[in-house]
Structure 1
Amino acid sequence: MALQISATRPEHPALLLELPWHLPLEEWPEAYLVPLPRGISRHVVRYARAGDEVIAVKELAERPALREYELLRDLDRIGIPAVDPLAVLTGRTDDDGSPLESVLVTRHLRGSQPYRSMFETTMRPATMHRLMDALAVLLVRLHLAGFAWGDCSLSNTLFRRDAGAYAAYLVDAETGDLHPRLSDGQREYDLDLARVNISGELLDLEASGALHPSVDPIEFGTEICARYGRLWEELTRTSVYPAGKYHYIERRIRRLNDLGFDVAEMQIKHSADGDSVTFVPKVVDAGHHQRQLLRLTGLDTEENQARRLLNDLESWMATQDDYAPGDPLAARPEVLAHRWVRDVFRPTVRAVPPELRGAMDAAEIYHELLEHRWYLSEQAQADIGLDTAVADYIAHILPTARESLRPTTAD
C-alpha cells in the first residue's frame, strides 16, 4: 500500500514529504526533531520541523488516527481551543516493505507548554489558580459544545498565556465523542475522569519530588471540578431579560467576575419574549484590563476601574447592529470602542459640572457613575439608565462628597 496523505490544506503534503516516514518515530534522527516539553502519552509523539512549521507527530493505528483527525477538525469548526490538525499519513512502510503505524500531524501551538510541565516548576499561588481556572473554562466550553473528552489530563492539555489571557487547549481527542448535547451523566462522568487523571499525575509528580510542596494533588483535582461546577451554573442557567433591562445583564457579569472570570465575548439575542445573553469566559493576568482599555480607548486607569469600564464597553458593543464576533466584515473592536468613547463615555462625563468634579479625572468619574447606577438599579430592581444615575449622583452624592472634604475649623 502506497503512502497516503490526507491534509487540511494543499501546501501541507509537500512540506511533510521531506520527513523520514519510512522510519518508526522512535528512530527519527535528531536532525529532524525539535526539543520541546511533552506530556506523558500512550503513543510515541515527537515534535519535528516541516518547512517553517513546528509540528507534533503522533503514531497510532489508522482508524483512530483518521477519527481523531476528523474530531479535531470538528472542534476547530465550532471554535473550541484545540490543536490545529494538519494531516493524517497512512500506508507507511519501512525500507523492507514492512507496515508502520499511521501518524496524526498537528501544528504545534506556539508559546504553549503541557500543563504537566508547568507544575514541574515553582509557581506563585495566584498563577496556579489561574491555571486551574483556565482548565475549568476549557472543560465547560467542551461540554457546552457537546464534546465528551474522556481523557482530560495535565498531559493532554496545553497552557498558553497570550496578551495577559490564560488559556487551556485540548491536545488529544482520541477518546472523545461529539454529540448534539451532553447529558448530566455524561458531563459528570467526564469530570470525574478529569479529577482522577489530574490528581493522579500530580501525585506522580509529588512522588518524583518535582511538585511544589504547596500543591495538594487531591485538593487541586477536586477544586478544578468545583470551579467547573460554579462556572457551568452561571453560564448555562436560562435567563431571558425584558428588553432594555441591562442591569440584569450587568448582574450576571459581576457574578462571573466574583468567580474570577472575565467576559471574552458576549452576545445578546433579541426576541419577542426579551433578550437572552450568552457569555464566553476567559482568565486574565494581573494588569490585563488596564492594558486592554488603554489599547482600545486611550483611557489610562487603575485596574479595577478598567475592568468596570471594559464590562460597560462590552455590554454596549453587544447592543450594536454591526457587532458580530468572528465576522471579518463586522466593525472591529477598536472602531466600536472609539464610538463608545465618543457617544457614551464623553457625553456622560461632561454631564457632571466641572466645578463639582474636584480632583477626579474622567475615568474615575465614569467609574463612580457606573457604580452609582448599579446601586440605584439594585434598589429599584430595574435598570434606571445612565441619565437618571448622573442626575442623582450630581444631586445627592457629589455635594456630600465635597462637603466631607472641606477643612473643619475649631470654635
Structure 2
Amino acid sequence: MPLQLTGTPSDPDLIRLPWDVPLERWPDHHLVSLPRGISRHVVRFARLSGRVYAIKEISEYYAKREYRLLWDLNRLDAPSVEPVAVVTGRTDADGEPLDSALVTQHLQFSLPYRAVMSGTVRPETLTRLLDALAVLLVRLHLTGFYWGDCSLSNVLFRRDAGSFAAYLVDAETGELHPMISEGQRLHDIDLAHVNLFGEMLDLQAGELLHSSIDPEEVADSVCARYHRLWGELTSDEIIDEVDWHRVDQRIRRLNDLGFDVAEMMVRRKAGTGRLVVRPKVVDAGHHQRRLLRLTGLDVEENQARRLLNDLDAFRVARGLRHEDEAIVAHHWLAEVFQPTVEAVPAEMRRKLEPAQLFHEVLDHRWFMSEKAGQDVGLPASVASYVKNVLVHKPDEKALISEE
C-alpha cells in the first residue's frame, strides 16, 4: 500500500517528512526538543511553518481509532489535543513495513506532569494538579467518554491562573458512548486509582515527592475529589416548594465550578409536598464563554474568572455600574489588559500566555501593594514583575520561533 496521509492537515509539508525512517531515528533538523511524558510508544515533536506537531508511532488500527476519538472529543469541546492526520502505508528504504503515525497539534504552553514537578514536588502544587485531573475526568464522563487509562502520564497541563487545566493526550484505550454507564464510570475511577498510586510510587522512588506526601493518600484523594464534583453536578436535590431559592443557590454553585446549567428537571415526590430537582449540566467553561463574548479573549476557565473579576473592579472604580457590559469590557481591554501585556518586552512575552501573564502581574501588584501599604498601580507592578519574576521563568511556549 502506498504512503497515505489522511486527515485535516493544514501544512502540506507534513507529507514531506521522512516517513520512510523509523521515528526514533529522525534527523534532528526535523525535530523540536520539548518535555515529553512517559509513553508506551515513540513520540517526537516536529516543527513546520511555525507550528509544532506531536507524532506518535503506533499500529494502523489504533492510529485510526485514536484519530477518530480525538476528533469526536474536539467536536464535543472536551479538553483534549487536536488531531491532525494519520499516516499509513509507511515502508523503510528496503521496503519493510513501518508502523503508522498519529499526528496531533501540540498544545501551546502545556507541560507533562514531570516537567511541572521538576524538583521536589510541593504538596500544594500536587493538589492543584490532582484537582485538574479530577475535573478533566468528570468532564470526559459527562460527554460519555470512557477513558480506560486515566493517569497523569496521559495528560498535559496548562497553567490556569493559580491552578492548572488538564487536557487528554492519549485516547488509545478510550470509548465514546451516548452516555457512560455507572459500571464504566466506576471502573475508570478504579483504574485511575491504580495508575496514580503507581506514578506516585515512581516519583517517590526518584526522590521527587515531598516527605509529607503519601502515595496511597494521593490516589485516594483524586477519587474523593472526583466523587464530590460528580455528585455536585449530577445528584438530585429534594426541596420544599417554599425553598425554591435553593435551586438558584445550586445553579450558582455550579457556575462557580465553571459549569452551565442547560435545563432543570423538576418532579413532585410521590405522597409529599416536596420537589425533586436535577440540573442538566452540559457545558463547562461558564466564565470562559462570558469573557469570550465580552472581549474576544479565549482563555482557560480560572484565568477567565480572574480577568472578569478585574473587569468588574474596573467597572466599579470608573463609576460604570450602569453602563452596558460590552462597552465596559471594550474600555477595560483598551485601557488595562492590552497596555499591561504590551508593557512586557516583546522577547519575554513568549514565556507565558497573555492571560496568565496578566494574572501573574495582578498577583505581583497585590503583594507589592501589601508591602507598600498602598496600591502601587499597574505600570510599577509590570516593571517589577518583569525585572524580578518573569526574567527567571522558563519559556513555556511550545511554538518556537523560526531561526
Which of 105, 108, 115 in structure 1 is aligned with 2:106?
108
Q: Distance in 2 between matches of 1:286 and 1:178?
A: 27
Q: Distance in 2 between matches of 1:75 and 1:117?
A: 25
Partner of 2:2: 2
Q: Distance in 1 between matches of 2:305 and 2:154?
A: 30
Which of 252, 257, 260 in structure 2 is aligned with 1:263?
257
Displacement, 1:115?
A: 2.1
The residue type paired with residue 158 of structure 1 is L
Please state whether the residue corresponding to 1:196 is helix, strand or coil. helix
Q: Distance in 2 between matches of 1:243 and 1:334?
A: 34
Which of 274, 278, 287 in structure 1 is aligned with 2:281?
278
Displacement, 1:253?
A: 5.2
1:144 aligns with 2:142: yes
TM-score by length of structure 1 reads 0.65
Q: Distance in 1 between matches of 2:178 and 2:301?
A: 34
Which of 303, 326, 329 in structure 2 is aligned with 1:335?
326
The residue type paired with residue 116 of structure 2 is M
Which of 130, 133, 146 in structure 2 is aligned with 1:132?
130
Which of 310, 323, 338 in structure 2 is aligned with 1:294?
310
Displacement, 1:95?
A: 1.4
**Number of residue-to-residue matches in the alignment:** 303
Please state whether the residue corresponding to 2:257 is helix, strand or coil. strand
| Contact 2:156–2:167, Cα closer than 8 Å, also in 1 | yes
1:88 aligns with 2:86: yes
Partner of 1:45: 43
The residue type paired with residue 264 of structure 1 is G
Q: Distance in 1 between matches of 2:316 and 2:129?
A: 28
Q: Distance in 2 between matches of 1:336 and 1:237?
A: 39
Displacement, 1:249?
A: 3.6
| Contact 2:123–2:210, Cα closer than 8 Å, also in 1 | no
Displacement, 1:239?
A: 5.2
User: Kindly tell me: are residues 242 and 4 of structure 1, through their superposed partners in 2, closer, same or farther at Cα, counting changes over 3 Å?
Assistant: farther
Note the alpha carbon deviations across 1:202-233, whole angstroms, 9 max, x for none: 10121122223232211111100000001111
TM-score by length of structure 2 reads 0.67
| Contact 1:83–1:108, Cα closer than 8 Å, also in 2 | yes
Partner of 2:226: 228
Please state whether the residue corresponding to 1:221 is helix, strand or coil. helix
| Segment drifting more, 58-67 vs 262-271 | 262-271
User: Kindly tell me: are residues 285 and 18 of structure 1, through their superposed partners in 2, closer, same or farther at Cα, counting changes over 3 Å?
Assistant: same
| Segment drifting more, 199-208 vs 120-129 | 120-129
Q: Distance in 1 between matches of 2:30 and 2:159?
A: 27
Q: Distance in 2 between matches of 1:39 and 1:225?
A: 22
User: Kindly tell me: are residues 276 and 236 of structure 1, through their superposed partners in 2, closer, same or farther at Cα, counting changes over 3 Å?
Assistant: closer
Q: Distance in 1 between matches of 2:209 and 2:39?
A: 19
| Contact 2:80–2:168, Cα closer than 8 Å, also in 1 | yes
Q: Distance in 2 between matches of 1:125 and 1:211?
A: 8
Please state whether the residue corresponding to 1:94 is helix, strand or coil. coil
Displacement, 1:285?
A: 9.8
Q: Distance in 2 between matches of 1:39 and 1:177?
A: 22
| Contact 1:166–1:285, Cα closer than 8 Å, also in 2 | no
Displacement, 1:246?
A: 7.0
Note the alpha carbon deviations across 1:343-377, whole angstroms, 9 max, x for none: xxxxxxxxxxxxxxxxxxxxxxxxxxxxxxxxxxx
Please state whether the residue corresponding to 1:58 is helix, strand or coil. strand
User: Kindly tell me: are residues 85 and 191 of structure 1, through their superposed partners in 2, closer, same or farther at Cα, counting changes over 3 Å?
Assistant: same
Q: Distance in 2 between matches of 1:18 and 1:50?
A: 10
Partner of 1:173: 171
| Contact 2:32–2:46, Cα closer than 8 Å, also in 1 | yes
Note the alpha carbon deviations across 1:118-155, whole angstroms, 9 max, x for none: 23434443332221111101111111111110111111
The residue type paired with residue 202 of structure 1 is M
**Greater length-normalized contact order (CA 8 Å, ≥ 6 residues apart):** 2
User: Kindly tell me: are residues 280 and 227 of structure 1, through their superposed partners in 2, closer, same or farther at Cα, counting changes over 3 Å?
Assistant: farther
Please state whether the residue corresponding to 2:85 is helix, strand or coil. strand
The residue type paired with residue 293 of structure 1 is N
Q: Unaligned regions of 5+ residues in structure 1, if any?
A: 302-308, 310-332, 339-411
The residue type paired with residue 189 of structure 1 is H
| Contact 1:241–1:275, Cα closer than 8 Å, also in 2 | no
User: Kindly tell me: are residues 249 and 129 of structure 1, through their superposed partners in 2, closer, same or farther at Cα, counting changes over 3 Å?
Assistant: farther
Partner of 2:183: 185
Please state whether the residue corresponding to 2:141 is helix, strand or coil. helix
Q: Distance in 2 between matches of 1:186 and 1:271?
A: 25
User: Kindly tell me: are residues 86 and 245 of structure 1, through their superposed partners in 2, closer, same or farther at Cα, counting changes over 3 Å?
Assistant: farther
Q: Distance in 1 between matches of 2:244 and 2:49?
A: 51
Q: Distance in 1 between matches of 2:231 and 2:79?
A: 21
Displacement, 1:294?
A: 2.0
Q: Distance in 1 between matches of 2:258 and 2:328?
A: 15
Please state whether the residue corresponding to 1:55 is helix, strand or coil. strand
1:76 aligns with 2:79: no
Displacement, 1:266?
A: 1.6
User: Kindly tell me: are residues 334 and 296 of structure 1, through their superposed partners in 2, closer, same or farther at Cα, counting changes over 3 Å?
Assistant: farther
Please state whether the residue corresponding to 2:101 is helix, strand or coil. strand
Displacement, 1:250?
A: 4.0
Displacement, 1:198?
A: 1.1
Please state whether the residue corresponding to 1:93 is helix, strand or coil. coil
Please state whether the residue corresponding to 1:100 is helix, strand or coil. coil
Q: Unaligned regions of 5+ residues in structure 2, if any?
A: 268-276, 288-299, 330-403
